Amino acid sequence: MLLLKAAIAAALLFLSTTILFGQAESAGKYNGDKAKNREFCSSDWSNGDRVSVRDLREMTLPASGSLSVDGGRNGGIRVKGSERSDIVVRACVQAWGTTDEAAKAAVAGVKISTSGGTIRAEGVGEENYSVSYELLVPRSIDLNLRAQNGGIGISGVEGRLEFETQNGGVHLDNVAGDVKGRTTNGGVHVDLAGNSWKGSGLDVSTTNGGVHLSMPNSYAANVETGTTNGGFHSDIPALSVDTENVKGPTRHQRATRLNTVLNGGGAPIRLITTNGGVHISSASRANL
């Protein structure tokens, strides 16, 4: 429990070129708000005989067409698309120990590497530290993101997006391209904008967690969603439903499979859960 709590305490990310950077409160420049920077990496804590120490590391890197991030054992990943031509990386390294000195030594021993085009942390004793990543990237970029104990969030990115986490939620906001990913233990939240999907489609699943899809009423897509154990609710009136228990528009009922053709159809939007509810909402209603 302590490991998970510490693992969810950070965020940032980093890219191509073979670079190692160690302990440094501010390496490189970031044009964001300083208060937000502190908020991202500001969760030192103590619990009985355990204390934690954090270190925020920042870099600006040249962009290539793709980015891979290995979140390691503990830590989440957030990626945001922008009009930039480079990549802003922020990594929050947090370590804990029985004393403040031991925690500081553990932080100092963690390095962030981009060897082989993959961002990852390198250190001794993964159970004693976490590294979370936050990244500002060009809007058109391919991503490959992996985490074990930590969430994954992607917003405003168009490309080939692949991701997986074992214990953590997934949040996708205004993404496009060829998007595929899954989580084992965590919910999935997808927010769509515009009138249709740009790209080949989206396919995301979870084993234990609910799925929530928000889209404008005018959105054109083929939506497939399903649950084995969980309820189903939709605020979208134009539904084509194929379930074991329900025909037609549904309200808070258990549904095994739902196929929704909206506004003539379009790219496939697939969200599947095994144990969890399904909720489809209109974007206008979700923003109230």
In which domain, by residue range, is 36 found?
Answer: 1-141
Q: Which residue has the higher pLDDT, 142 or 259?
A: 142
Both 197 and 247 in a single domain?
A: yes
Residue 154, domain member (yes or no)? no
| Same domain (yes/no): 5, 72 | yes
Percent of the chain with pLDDT over 70: 76
Cα separation values, 108 from 95, 104, 112, Å: 9, 6, 11
Kindly list the distances between the CA atom of residue 31 and the CA atoms of 28, 34, 36, 37, in Å, as whole numbers in the listed order: 10, 9, 11, 10
Asked if 212 and 189 count as a contact pair (C-beta separation under 8 A), the reply is yes
Number of domains in the chain: 2
Asked whether residue 161 is assigned to any structural domain, the reply reads no
Q: Are strands 142-149 and 158-167 parallel, antiparallel or unpaired?
A: parallel
Residue 36 lies in a domain: yes
**175 and 121 in a common domain:** no
Same domain, 277 and 241: yes
Radius of gyration of the chain (CA): 20
pLDDT reading at 215 higher than 90: yes
Report the mean per-residue pLDDT for the chain: 81
Residue 244: is its pLDDT beyond 80?
A: no
135 and 19 within one domain: yes
Q: Answer yes or no: are the C-beta atoms of 170 and 187 closer than 8 Å.
A: yes
Question: What is the per-residue pLDDT for 48?
Answer: 66
Identify whether residues 87 and 16 lie together within a single domain: yes
Least confident of 5-9, 39-43, 198-202, 275-279: 5-9
Residue 88 has pLDDT above 50, yes or no: yes
In a domain, 236, yes or no: yes
Residues 223 and 129 in one domain: no
Please tell me which residue, 210 or 49, carries the higher pLDDT value.
Answer: 210
Q: Reduced to 3 states, what is the DSSP secondary structure of residue 271?
A: strand
Q: Is residue 156 included in any domain, yes or no? A: no
Tell whether the model's pLDDT for residue 11 goes beyond 60.
no
Residue 86 has pLDDT above 60, yes or no: yes
Distance, CA of 145 to CA of 186 (rounded, Å)? 16
Residue 180 belongs to a domain: yes
Query: Is 175 found in the same domain as 119?
Result: no
